[in-house]
Chains A and B, each alone.
Chain A
């Protein structure tokens, strides 16, 4: 389905999958170097935005990354963790090679998203926020609307949206993505940064 190759502000290109290895902290430092503030109040206002950027870049925020954010903004890692664990967008565990968002907005619910979530649980053994043991797939159930309601039920696998999903089409979609990535890695040599 729709594949957006073009770079666009609405399409932040995620960093290559880094697996369970640690986040490159120099990149976090580089991200933090763009945050400037005049006083402690302003610094506190920036914590969420900073976490958002780190999370968007790596797909999760590690403890070490949280420490750097805290230090750069003159606060404690406890404070940063309080936010990481409160806001649904943030993850404190790495994502799988493929990250699946299942829209669970009302429109998608009415048209069957519940069955998709159940299917992922039955078929891949993961629930919201979890990753399969082989680290191939992680799931996030979006408790809002992905904004393409006329395609309900909608999923977003990595970069591309697919609509009108059924459990069968979803399995096919996931299998294709996993197979595609592996084929690419074999021809490029493992862990190429594509």
Chain B
């Protein structure tokens, strides 16, 4: 199967055209895997590119020429095995090898490097290789949104369709009413994956009810948080799933145009998504009179310029409109007045990526996964000194312990666990004793943590929490849009106080001062950035009170990793 350039794709004009195209794509897909040529797939994602995967791809092409099919696929979330290649020889199952360098390629292709085997794609072991899905990293995952990761070529609409893309869209176009589609999403009880956890069904229903026209749907793929990259992974591995989710939302809410706003830092995500839109437009899934139904949906891809605040929905819309991304007060909410003052339904990428399966398999099915109040699966990213890093998809409700210690393999050798910063820059840390709490939208709140967008940062014994708290507050200070005073002035003040402590000039009053300042910033700021900016700092103080006290009372840093430690003893004595 080859990835057709956009201009060689046919234009589909009717329901039957689509079904025929789907059948053909399916046959091509089956032919690819059952043919008499070896198929070599190379996992290309932004993390594997950084590690030289493009060179590995080139080396495979050089080595094999026309004697085998060498194709590009996406990364599979397992950073620790990158760069990897998958070799499928005729009448053998596909076997994955990694991490490898260009020098390893000839040996692997000659079948002489069993030491680099990571596993077999499939259910049965083959020779000495175990199925990849039995590996601890994959064993407890539940890939729904990421099931095409490392499988299809993300540049190929045919491969996506062969794997079921646009079936949900097809159903919404031909087999159900708009209200029924919204009902499925409501039954699924899928809650916003962008951090807020607001039920998407309710948002869609208000979008549908809004009177003003035209209406828009916007997918929030900004992801400016310094600790997550799940939306990037979704774009890189299955752009058509996101596009399908947006298109379904457009039809269901009666929106005439869909948008996707991607952060400019993600060139590969943008390139793959752009190709997806061009292909879908070309075959007639976007545009006028889609598949002869008389329905019209337009689409626009917009890119950002690296400002965290543009993830906030109203700022995002300003950014789309070509002005500075600064949030505004609500009401009106964006479903009443959004892009170009029109009703706009805004959802996170992952939320929208859940939609195609909700439509094809039913809201009940989706609601059967996860916990009582948090349905479905969740993409999680883990950072820090861990044995493995990457993106995984697990059922809501898995304990942190299982996630961190089973899937990600616990701490890297030589590092000792101290805590997990949850919710990016919007929440506090949790420690060892809270690791058995299930991860869902609500369970972590009582202990001062948060699911947020599913990014977890593990820090070890050598991390000074005062310094870490400064880092997190400094991030918010830097990213503040400067529109409202409490956030613009309060955050620098907090950073200054923490700096004082860090430099060994703090006193116990400073802790009180932090709490007072934090209260102002939290209660008076205009948007979600300011309203949570001091929370990580407060959380660190609550959880690691002794360490803060050591800094302000004894003027020492127990970990020895903040500027106090580097001070001349004479200077410390002089204070």
Q: Is the CB–CB distance between A104 and B50 below 8 Å? A: no
Q: Is the CB–CB distance between A83 and B305 below 8 Å? A: yes
- Option from B49, B226, B305 in Cβ contact (under 8 Å) with A106: B226
Q: Is the CB–CB distance between B227 and A105 below 8 Å? A: yes
Q: Is the CB–CB distance between A110 and B324 below 8 Å? A: no
Tell me whether A187 is interfacial, beta carbon within 8 Å: no
A10-B271, A88-B305, A161-B51 are contacts. A149–B265 as well, Cβ < 8 Å? no
0 or 1 for each of B476-496: is its CB under 8 Å from A? (1 = yes): 001100000000000000000
Q: Is the CB–CB distance between A87 and B322 below 8 Å? A: no
Q: Is the CB–CB distance between B79 and A148 below 8 Å? A: yes
0 or 1 for each of A5-25: is its CB under 8 Å from B? (1 = yes): 110111110000000000000
Chain B nearest CB from A50 CB (Å) reads 10
Q: Is the CB–CB distance between B324 and A86 below 8 Å? A: yes
Residue of A nearest to B228 (CB): A145
For A87, list chain B residues within 8 Å (CB). Answer: 264, 304-307, 325
Which segment, of A27-35, A39-47, A171-179, faces chain B?
A: A39-47
Q: Is the CB–CB distance between B267 and A149 below 8 Å? A: no
0 or 1 for each of B385-414: is its CB under 8 Å from A? (1 = yes): 110111000000000000000000000000
Q: Is the CB–CB distance between B384 and A3 below 8 Å? A: no
Roughly how many angstroms separate A152 CA and B47 CA in the complex, as a whole number? 12
Q: Is the CB–CB distance between B457 and A145 below 8 Å? A: no
For B366, list chain A residues within 8 Å (CB). Answer: none
Roughly how many angstroms separate A41 CA and B323 CA in the complex, as a whole number? 12
Chain B nearest CB from A15 CB (Å) reads 15
A10-B46, A44-B322, A45-B300 are contacts. A89–B457 as well, Cβ < 8 Å? no
From 47 to 102 in chain B, residues with beta carbon under 8 angstroms from any chain A beta carbon are: 47, 49-52, 54-55, 57-58, 79-80
**Interface-central residue, A6, A107, A151, by most chain B CB under 10 Å:** A107
0 or 1 for each of A129-150: is its CB under 8 Å from B? (1 = yes): 0000000000000111111111
Q: Is the CB–CB distance between A110 and B49 below 8 Å? A: no
Interface of A is mostly: loop
Tell me whether B441 is interfacial, beta carbon within 8 Å: no
Q: Is the CB–CB distance between A2 and B55 below 8 Å? A: yes
For A75, list chain B residues within 8 Å (CB). Answer: 322
0 or 1 for each of B358-401: is its CB under 8 Å from A? (1 = yes): 00000000000000000000000101111011100000000000
- Option from B263, B303, B340 in Cβ contact (under 8 Å) with A49: B303
Tell me whether A63 is interfacial, beta carbon within 8 Å: no
- Option from B44, B265, B384 in Cβ contact (under 8 Å) with A89: B265
Tell me whether B475 is interfacial, beta carbon within 8 Å: yes
Q: Is the CB–CB distance between B50 and A146 below 8 Å? A: yes
From 82 to 102 in chain A, residues with beta carbon under 8 angstroms from any chain B beta carbon are: 82-83, 86-90
- Option from B52, B322, B390, B468 in Cβ contact (under 8 Å) with A48: B322
A9-B267, A48-B304, A88-B307 are contacts. A2–B50 as well, Cβ < 8 Å? yes
A104-B226, A145-B227 are contacts. A89–B305 as well, Cβ < 8 Å? yes
Tell me whether B21 is interfacial, beta carbon within 8 Å: no
Interface size on B, residues (CB 8 A): 66
Q: Is the CB–CB distance between A45 and B302 below 8 Å? A: yes
For A10, list chain B residues within 8 Å (CB). Answer: 44, 46, 49, 267-268, 271
For A46, list chain B residues within 8 Å (CB). Answer: 322
Q: Is the CB–CB distance between A147 and B47 below 8 Å? A: yes
Q: Is the CB–CB distance between A3 and B306 below 8 Å? A: no
Chain A nearest CB from B151 CB (Å) reads 19
For A154, list chain B residues within 8 Å (CB). Answer: 50
Tell me whether B320 is interfacial, beta carbon within 8 Å: yes
Chain A nearest CB from B565 CB (Å) reads 13
Q: Is the CB–CB distance between A6 and B58 below 8 Å? A: yes
- Option from A4, A48, A86, A163 in Cβ contact (under 8 Å) with B49: A4
Q: Is the CB–CB distance between A147 and B232 below 8 Å? A: yes
Tell me whether A170 is interfacial, beta carbon within 8 Å: no
- Option from A47, A52, A146, A163 in Cβ contact (under 8 Å) with B322: A47
Tell me whether B471 is interfacial, beta carbon within 8 Å: yes
Interface size on A, residues (CB 8 A): 52
Q: Is the CB–CB distance between B229 and A145 below 8 Å? A: yes
A89-B306, A150-B79 are contacts. A144–B267 as well, Cβ < 8 Å? no
For B57, list chain A residues within 8 Å (CB). Answer: 6
For B307, list chain A residues within 8 Å (CB). Answer: 86-88
Tell me whether B517 is interfacial, beta carbon within 8 Å: no
Tell me whether B460 is interfacial, beta carbon within 8 Å: yes
For B49, list chain A residues within 8 Å (CB). Answer: 4, 8, 10-11
Q: Is the CB–CB distance between B306 and A144 below 8 Å? A: yes
- Option from B227, B321, B479 in Cβ contact (under 8 Å) with A107: B227
From 222 to 251 in chain B, residues with beta carbon under 8 angstroms from any chain A beta carbon are: 224-229, 232
- Option from A4, A11, A49 in Cβ contact (under 8 Å) with B302: A49
Tell me whether A166 is interfacial, beta carbon within 8 Å: no
Chain B nearest CB from A60 CB (Å) reads 13
A48-B305, A107-B383, A111-B385 are contacts. A148–B268 as well, Cβ < 8 Å? no
For B302, list chain A residues within 8 Å (CB). Answer: 45, 48-49
From 115 to 138 in chain A, residues with beta carbon under 8 angstroms from any chain B beta carbon are: none
Tell me whether A51 is interfacial, beta carbon within 8 Å: yes
Q: Is the CB–CB distance between A83 and B323 below 8 Å? A: yes
Chain B nearest CB from A63 CB (Å) reads 18
Tell me whether B204 is interfacial, beta carbon within 8 Å: no
Chain A nearest CB from B147 CB (Å) reads 21
For A161, list chain B residues within 8 Å (CB). Answer: 50-51
Query: What are 21 A-B contacts defined by CB distance under 8 Å?
Result: A9-B268, A10-B44, A11-B49, A11-B54, A44-B321, A49-B302, A51-B305, A52-B264, A83-B322, A89-B265, A105-B227, A106-B226, A111-B385, A114-B467, A143-B226, A143-B306, A143-B478, A144-B265, A147-B50, A147-B232, A152-B384
| Residues of chain A whose beta carbon lies under 8 Å from any beta carbon of chain B | 1-6, 8-12, 41, 44-49, 51-52, 75, 79, 82-83, 86-90, 104-107, 109-111, 114, 142-152, 154, 156, 161, 163
**Supplied contacts A4-B52, A10-B44, 12 more A-B pairs, CB within 8 Å:** A41-B321, A49-B302, A52-B305, A83-B324, A107-B457, A110-B384, A144-B225, A145-B228, A147-B232, A150-B80, A151-B51, A161-B51
